[in-house]
Amino acid sequence: MRKLYLENNKPKKRILRITRFIVVLVVVLVVLEVWMVNRLSTYGDKIQSLKVAQADLELENQILENQISQNGTMLNLESKAKALGFDTTKNLEYFRPANIASAL
Amino acid sequence: MRLNTLKLIYIIIFVTILARLFYWQVFRFDDLSSMAEQQHLVSAKIDAPRGLILSSDKAILASNKPTFLVFGLPKVVKDKVGTAAKLASVFVTATLEKDEKPDPLEIKEKQQDLLSKLSQDLSWVILNKSVDWNIKKAIEDLKIEGIGFDSQSSRFYPEASSAAHVLGFVGSDSLGRQVGYFGVEGFYNGQLKGIGGLVTEEKDARGLPILMGKFSLKEARKGYNLILNIDRAVQYSVEKKLKAGFIKYGAKAASAIVMDPSTGAIIAMASVPNYDPNLFSDFPKEYFKNSIVADAYEPGSTFKVLVMAAGINENLIQPDTLCDICDGPLQISGFSIRTWNNKYNKDANMTDVIVHSDNTGMVFVGKKLGLDKMYQYIQDFGFGKSTQIDLQDETSPDIRPKNDWREIDLATSSFGQGIAVTPIQMIRAVAAIANGGKLLEPHIVKEIQEDDKNTEIKPKVISQPISKEAAQKVTEMMVKAVELGEAKVFAPKGFKIAGKTGTAQIPVAGHYDANKTIASFVGFAPADNPKFVMLVRYDEPSSSIFGAETAAPTFFEIAKELFTYYNIAPSQ
C-alpha cells in the first residue's frame, strides 16, 4: 500500500523539483541581469572615451598619411635629390653590343 | 453603511487610477514611448570618407584632410575680449610662413571680428571654418571655456597644381554637400563619394552611451579608390617642360598629353595655365577647363598624316606616288592654296608632301579620296563624337554635315584647316597609326578599388579605321618628317621617332589671322614599337608662330626624358 502511495507521488515530486529549478534559474538570471546592467551602465564613459581615442587615432593616422604623401611629392623629391648632389643626366652614353667586352 | 460608503469610495478611486493607468499604458503607449525614445535615443550620421585618387605607382594624388569648424558659445564665454585676442593670435599666426612675423594690425582686425561674433545675442556662433588639426590643438591648449570644434573633412591634393586638370576638385553644391567638379573628381563622383551611415543608441542624462540600451548601426560605405594610369614622374616632367616652353615661346596657353598607344592609357596630361585644386576658389573659373578635352581647334598640318593614311588605306596613293598638281599655288573656288613657305616641288612624292608639309600635295590626296571617303575617314578616326574619356568636361566639336561641304572645304580639310577637333581626339587618331590601325578608347583610370574587389579598366578597341600595312607606311613617312623636316635640328639623334608638325591659323571674325596660330607637334616613339604617343600644343606663341620652332622642341625635350625613364636605347 505504502509502495503504491510512493509510486503515485513520484511524478508530482519531479514536477515540483523542475518548478523549483526553473524558479531558481529565473531568480539567478534576474539577479545576473540586474548585476550586469548595474555594472555595465557605469561603463558608458569608458566606451565614450574609447570612441574618442579611436577617432583621435584615426585622425592622427590621416594627418600622418597626408604628411607622408606631401613629403613624397615630385617637387619635394627633386629638391631633396638636388640637395643630396644628384642632378639630371645631360649626356647619356649608350654602349653598342659590339663595344662591350665579352669572354668567348 | 459608512463602511460600505468607504468601500465604494475606495473602489471608485481604484477604478479611476486603473482607468488612468490603462489610458497611459494602452491608449497613449505609442506617443509616450516615442517621446521617451526621442529623449534618450540619439542618432548620429557616420560620414563616408571620399575615396582616394592614386597615381599608377600608388602615390596619393587626392586624399582627405581632417579640418575643424571652430565655434563659440557667447553665453558661456566669460572673458570675451581676452578670448578674442587669444584666438586671433592663433588664427593669424597659423597662416604665416616659418620665419614670418605676425602683423599686429592683422591680429587686431581679426580680434575685432571675433569679438563682434562673440558679443552677439546667440547661443552658438561660427568663429572659423576648415582649420587644421594643429590650430585645433593650439586652441585646446588655451583651455578656453565656451569654445568648441566640429569635425569636418576637406579634400587634399599633395601634388598641388600637378595634374590639376586631370583630377578636378571637390566643392559644395547648393545644399552644402561635397561634390566633385571637373576631371576625375567630377566624372567618378558617384564612386568616390561613398554612402553615409547612421548609428542610433540610447544615451544617459550625461550623454554617455548605455551599453544595455537600444543600439542600431548602419555602417557607412567609404568611397572607392581610383588608381590612375597617370605616371607622376612623366606628368612632372611634362609639366616642367611645358611650363618652360610656355614662358619661352610667349604662348597664351599650352597643353601636352602622353598616351600609351597600345592600350589608350593616358600617362600624362598637362595644361597651362593651371590651378591648385586645394585653393581652387582663388583662381579664375576659366582655368578649371581642361583644354585637352574641352577645347576645339583646327589641327593644321598634324591632320595631314590622317588624310594620307586614308589615301594609302584606300590604295589610291602610295608613299612614292608623284603629285601632279604640286608645281604651284592651286586655285579652288576663287581661293588660292599655297605651301607654308611658298616653295613648290613639281616632282614631290607623298613622302615629300609629309616631310615638307606641302598643302598642295594634300589637296592632291583629298581630291583622290573625294568627299565621301574623306568624310567617312574623318568619322572613322573618331572626329565629331566624344572619345568617352573618363573626364567630366569632355566636349566634341561637330563635323559640318556632308551636304554643306564645298570643294574648298574638301581641299582645306586635307591639310587640317576648316575642321575642328579636340587634342584628345587628335592624339587618339594618331595613336591608331602608332598601334597598327586600332582606334582605342582613352582612359585615365586604370583600376577601381572597391571594398572587396578591384575592377580593372581594360583597353577597349573601338574600330580599325586603317590597316596595319597602311599604318606602317604612314609611320615611315612620319619618321622621314622628323629626320628631314623643319624640326630635324631638335630631334634626338639615334632614336627612330615618327612625328609631324602643325601650324594652324586661328579663325578670327570670319577670316584667318596669319599672326595668330596654334603650333603643335604630334608623334610617337620608338616608331617601330611605340611606347608613347604625344601631342604638344601652344596657343598663339609669340616668339615664333611655327610648330617646328615651338611645339617640336618641347616634344623632343620631353621625349628625351621619356627615353631615359623607359630605358629606351637609340636604335640607329
Q: At B455, is the pLDDT very low, low, confident or very high (cuts 50, 70, 90)?
A: very high
- Does B211 lie at the interface with A, CB-CB under 8 angstroms? yes
d(CA B523, CA B555): 8
Q: B191 lies in a domain? A: no
Q: What pTM was estimated for this model as a whole?
A: 0.83
* Buried/exposed code over A31-64 (b: 16+ C-beta within 10 A; e: otherwise): eeeeeeeeeeeeebeeeeeeeeeeeeeeeeebbe
Domain closes at, from B121, B138, B155? B155
- Domain assignment present for residue B16? The answer is no
Interface touch B236/A75, C-beta < 8 Å:
yes
The mean pLDDT value for A13-25 works out to 93
- Mean pLDDT for all residues in chain B: 91
Number of residue pairs across A and B with CB atoms under 8 Å?
A: 68
pLDDT per residue over B31-54, tens digit each?
A: 888 887 777 888 888 888 999 999
Longest CA pairwise span in chain B (Å): 141
Kindly determine whether residue B66 and residue A41, on different chains, have CB atoms separated by under 8 Å: no
Grid look-up 579598366 returns B457
pLDDT value of residue B209? 77
B290 lies in the same domain as B387: yes
Domain boundary among B101, B126, B155: B155
The verdict on a CB contact (< 8 Å) between B211 and A48 is no
Q: What is the tens place of the pLDDT at every residue in B295-352?
A: 999 999 999 999 999 999 999 999 999 998 888 888 888 888 888 778 888 888 999 9
Looking at the fold, whether B241 and B144 belong to one and the same domain comes out as: no
Q: Which one is predicted more confidently, B391 or B486?
A: B391
Q: Are B45 and B112 in contact (CB under 8 A)?
A: no
Cβ under 8 Å to A: B residues 315-334:
none
- CA B93 from chain centre, in angstroms, equals 34
CA distance B373 to B499: 24
> ω into residue B273 within 30 of 0, thus cis?
yes
Asked whether residue B100 is assigned to any structural domain, the reply reads yes
Indicate whether B267 and B381 sit together in one domain: yes
pLDDT digits (tens, 9 = 90+) for B92-134: 888 777 777 888 888 899 999 999 999 988 889 999 988 888 8
How many CA atoms does the CB half-sphere of B202 hold within 13 Å? 10
Rg (alpha carbons) of chain B, rounded to whole number: 34
Q: Quick check: B413 pLDDT over 70?
A: yes
pLDDT on residue B560? 93
- Helix H or strand E segment including B197: strand B197-202
| Residue B475, C-alpha cell as written in the block | 609611320
Please report, for the domain that includes residue B117, its CATH number. 3.90.1310.10
CA-based nearest residue in chain B for residue A94: B569
Q: In this model, does residue B78 exceed pLDDT 90?
A: no
Tell me the pLDDT tens digit for each residue of B198-224. Answer: 988 887 777 777 777 778 889 889 999
| Residue-level pLDDT at B299 | 93
Judge if B139 and B258 occupy the same domain.
Answer: no
- The C-alpha atoms of residue B282 and residue A102 are separated, in whole angstroms, by 62
Q: Tell me if B174 is assigned to some domain.
A: no
| Whole-number pLDDT of residue B245 | 96
Are residues B317 and B450 located together in one domain of the fold? yes
Interface predicted TM-score of the whole assembly (ipTM), two decimals? 0.76
pLDDT band at A103 (very low <50, low <70, confident <90, very high): low
pLDDT for A101: 66
Contact A48 B208 (CB under 8 A): yes
Mean per-residue pLDDT for B546-569? 93
Give the end of a domain, one of B155, B184, B204. Answer: B155
Contact criterion met (CB < 8 Å) for A94 and B570 = yes
Contacts of B210 in chain A (CB under 8 A): 41, 44
CB atoms within 10 A of CB B216: 10
Please check whether residues B272 and B130 belong to one and the same domain: no
| B254 and B283 Cβ atoms separated by less than 8 Å | no
**Using CA of residue B228, residue B230, residue B233, residue B235, what is the dihedral sign?**
negative
Helix (H, G, I), strand (E, B) or coil at B523: strand
Q: Do B151 and B240 share a domain, yes or no?
A: no
Q: How many domains does chain B have?
A: 2
Domain contains B485: yes
Q: Which domain holds residue B536?
A: 232-565
Smallest Cβ–Cβ distance between A73 and the set B65, B151, B158 belongs to B158
Q: What is the dihedral of CA B397, B403, B406, B412, to 10 degrees?
A: 30
The verdict on a CB contact (< 8 Å) between A94 and B232 is no
Q: Is residue B509 part of a domain?
A: yes
Q: Looking at the structure, do residues B130 and B237 belong to the same domain, yes or no?
A: no
- Residue A36, amino acid: M
pLDDT at B358 exceeding the cut of 80? yes
Query: For chain B, percent helix, then strand, then coil, each to nearest 5?
Result: 40, 25, 35
Co-location of B149 and B254 in the same domain: no
| pLDDT above 90: residue A99 | no
**pLDDT surpassing 60 at residue A4:** no
Q: What is the pLDDT of residue B30?
A: 87
Q: Tell me which chain A residues have a C-beta less than 8 angstroms from the C-beta of B158.
A: 66, 69-70, 72-73
Q: Are residues A74 and B236, on separate chains, in Cβ contact within 8 Å?
A: yes
Residue B122 in domain: yes
What mean pLDDT, rounded, does chain A reach? Answer: 84
Residue B209: inside a domain? no
Nearest alpha carbon to residue B381 among B474, B451, B449: B474
Report angle CA B165, B170, B188 to the nearest 5 degrees.
Answer: 70
Give the CATH number for residue B534: 3.40.710.10
Cα B239 to Cα B365: distance, rounded to the nearest angstrom: 37
Residues B151, B270 share a domain: no
pLDDT at residue A8 greater than cutoff 70: no
CA dist., res. B365 & res. B349, Å (int): 11
For residue A3, what pLDDT is reported? 60
